[in-house]
Amino acid sequence: MIEIRANPRPGLVSALLEMRIDGEPAPDLETFGNLGFVIRGGFETTTVLTAHALEWLSQHPGLRALLNTRRETPLDPAAEEFLRYFTAAPGDGQTFSEDVELMGSTSRRASGLDFVGDGKPRPVGPGPLRHPTWGHRQRWWAVSAEIFPSSRVQRDRALYSGQARRARSQRWETDR
């Protein structure tokens, strides 16, 4: 961070290091946190998805050969199917900003709920529900609707494939 601050260059890391909060330079802890999100979000999910896709292609040489013969055709449909079929980020979490009554249990302010999916491929759904890759919170619409009743979450959509019912959860506490 010190070197990049001394010699800024175009890019996301420099932009994060130049970040301001209320006109003041962001605290280092805030900057470290944001850098961690960028690295994890961009590296881990891409690596996991790529590894699963390559493993699957190695187990299906006929389909791999078919994809190789279609180099002049965009591979978007194949890429879209890999995104749907493999879970790049099987979990998510939420920290509560106030006490919340959720499914018969009280979650205290600053406690959290960890959502963990079962890692199974989902059926293709209609329209924006085609798969959860582009908006991972879709998986948790039913739970999110309980946590954030005033949000734009729609409970009926959450139940279209029963995803929320198949998830398991874990609670954690923080000192804040």
Query: What is the model's pLDDT at position 127?
Result: 55
- 40: which DSSP letter? I
- Dihedral sign, Cα of residue 33, residue 34, residue 35, residue 36: positive
Residue numbers in the chain where pLDDT is lower than 50: 129, 135-176
Whole-prediction pTM value?
0.46
Query: What is the model's pLDDT at position 174?
Result: 38
Q: Could you tell me if 79 and 90 are in contact, meaning their C-beta atoms sit under 8 angstroms apart?
A: no
Query: What is the model's pLDDT at position 21?
Result: 83
- CA 18 from chain centre, in angstroms, equals 26
**Tens digits of per-residue pLDDT, 73-110?**
777 788 878 877 776 766 666 777 888 887 788 888 87
| C-alpha to C-alpha distance for 20 and 57, rounded to whole angstroms | 45
Domain boundaries, the chain: 1-86, 89-117, 137-175
What are the distances in angstroms from CA 72 to CA 65, 76, 149? 14, 12, 48
Listed in sequence order, the residues at least 6 apart from 117 whose beta carbon sits closer than 8 Å to its beta carbon are 87, 90, 91, 139, 163, 166, 167
Quick check: helix, strand or coil at residue 116? Answer: strand
